[in-house]
Amino acid sequence: MKKKILIVGLIILISLIIGIILFKNKDKKDNKDILYSINFGNTIIRFKHVDYVIPQNRIVIVEKSIDKGKTFESITKEAITVSMEPKFVFLNENQGFAIKKPKIMKDNGKYMGMYVTLDGGKTFTLSKINYDNPNIETLTIKDVPYYDNNRLILPCSIYQVKSDQSGYENVDLYFTTNDNGLTWNLMDDLFFSIKKDSLTNKGATFILKNNSEDDYCYGPEYILEKYVDNKWKEILLDEPLSWNTVLYNLNKKEEIEININWENSYGILDNGKYRLVKNNIRKKNSPESRSYTVYAEFKIGGKNNIIEIKKLSQNINEYKEYLEKDGRTIYLASNIEEVYFNKDKDNMTLKYYIENVNQKIEESIKEITNYLEKKEIYKDGGSTVYRSKEYDITLVKCNNMSGNKDIYIGDYNLNTDGITMCRR
Q: Do 233 and 181 fall within a single domain?
A: no
* pLDDT of 407 over the 80 cut: yes
pTM of the model: 0.47
> Residue 308 and residue 391: Cα distance in Å, rounded?
6
Among 227, 181, 226, smallest CA distance to 346 is for 227
Tens of pLDDT along 116-136? 999 999 999 999 888 877 778
Tens of pLDDT along 3-26? 666 666 677 767 666 665 554 454
Q: Do 98 and 60 fall within a single domain?
A: yes
Q: Do 316 and 241 fall within a single domain?
A: no
Tens of pLDDT along 342-385? 765 566 888 888 888 877 888 888 888 888 888 899 988 899 99
Assess if residue 25 is contained within a domain: no
- The CATH number of residue 272's host domain is 2.60.40
Range with top average pLDDT, 18-32, 36-50, 290-304, 347-361: 36-50
Lowest model confidence (mean pLDDT) among 74-78, 95-99, 240-244, 311-315: 311-315
pLDDT at 29: 46
- Provide mean pLDDT across the span 291-311: 74
Q: Which residues constitute the domain of residue 395?
A: 306-423
Which of 163, 187, 211 is the last residue before a domain boundary? 187
Which of 187, 209, 243 is the last residue before a domain boundary? 187
> Residue 128 and residue 105: Cα distance in Å, rounded?
12
207 vs 1, residue with greater confidence: 207
- Provide mean pLDDT across the span 130-154: 84
Which of 279, 301, 323 is the last residue before a domain boundary? 301
Q: How much of the chain is helix, strand and coil, in % rounded to 5?
A: 15, 45, 40
Give how many domains the chain has, as a whole number. Answer: 3
Alpha helices in 257-360 (DSSP H): 350-352
For residue 195, the 8-state DSSP code is P
Provide the pairing of β-strand 346-349 with 336-343.
antiparallel
322-338: b (≥16 Cβ within 10 Å) or e: bbeeeebbbbbbebbee
Position 37 confidence tier, pLDDT thresholds 50, 70, 90:
very high
Q: Cβ(396)–Cβ(407) under 8 Å?
A: yes
Query: Following DSSP, what letter does each residue of 1-52 receive, concatenated?
Result: -HHHHHHHHHHHHHHHHHHHHHHHHHHHHHHHHEEEEEEETTEEEEEEEEEE
% residues pLDDT > 70 (the chain): 88
Tens of pLDDT along 202-240? 999 999 988 777 888 999 999 999 888 777 888 988 888
- Provide mean pLDDT across the span 290-299: 80
Q: Cβ(221)–Cβ(214) under 8 Å?
A: no
Assess if residue 214 is contained within a domain: yes
> Residue 61 and residue 104: Cα distance in Å, rounded?
21
Q: Which residues pair with 160 in a beta bridge?
A: 169
